[in-house]
């Protein structure tokens, strides 16, 4: 079992598509695998809930209004560099969609507004080994 070797703090800017922008940053930083923790806002967001019978996600789309942003009160997940060199992410988000309603689920994608504040806690290749079912080569 490995321990955290480093932490990177990144800001994902407005208009970015998440997690695509995060995946680019992970490659740019030369990271191998770790934990994602963060907060931030979205203009729009697609969240999935897994149907265990079909093994497919039921996807719900959320959009901000003129007066209210979608507030990501908890963003948590993991990432690793797959055997083919691409980044695999698995991220869950809890968001406030208005003053009284929160929803959550598996992140499909979202458009950032105004930004995301993320901490990437790098632990290395152990993440790919532990979650080999998500790698392209098993």
Quote the pLDDT of residue 19: 98
Coil/strand/helix, residue 81: strand
At 11-39, the pLDDT tens digits run: 999 999 999 999 999 999 999 999 999 99
Taking the model in full, what pTM does it have?
0.91
- Quickly tell me which residue has 């490995």 as its tokens: 2
**Model confidence band, residue 4 (pLDDT cutoffs 50, 70, 90):** low
Q: How many CA atoms, within 13 angstroms, populate the side-chain half-sphere of residue 44?
A: 9
At 44-95, the pLDDT tens digits run: 999 999 999 999 999 999 999 999 999 999 999 999 999 999 999 999 999 9
**Model confidence band, residue 2 (pLDDT cutoffs 50, 70, 90):** low
Full set of structural domains in the chain with CATH: 6-131 (3.30.1330.80)
Both tokens of residue 57? Answer: 């996600």
d(CA 43, CA 26): 23
Q: Which of 8, 21, 9 is nearest to 112 (CA)?
A: 21
Phi and psi at 98, nearest 5°, equal: -160, -170
Q: Which of 72, 78, 86 is nearest to 38 (CA)?
A: 72
């Amino acid at each position: 079992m490995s321990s955290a070797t480093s932490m990177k703090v990144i800001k994902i800017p407005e208009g970015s598509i998440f997690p695509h922008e995060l995946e680019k940053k992970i490659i740019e930083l030369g990271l191998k695998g770790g934990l994602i923790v963060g907060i931030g806002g979205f203009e729009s967001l697609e969240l999935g809930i897994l149907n265990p019978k079909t093994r497919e996600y039921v996807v719900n789309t959320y959009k901000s209004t003129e007066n209210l942003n979608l507030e990501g009160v908890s963003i948590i997940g993991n990432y690793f560099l797959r055997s083919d060199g691409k980044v695999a992410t698995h991220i869950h988000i809890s968001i406030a969609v208005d003053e009284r309603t929160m929803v959550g689920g598996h992140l499909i994608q979202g458009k950032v507004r105004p930004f995301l504040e993320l901490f990437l806690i790098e632990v290395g290749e152990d993440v790919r080994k532990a979650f080999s079912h998500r790698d392209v080569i098993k």
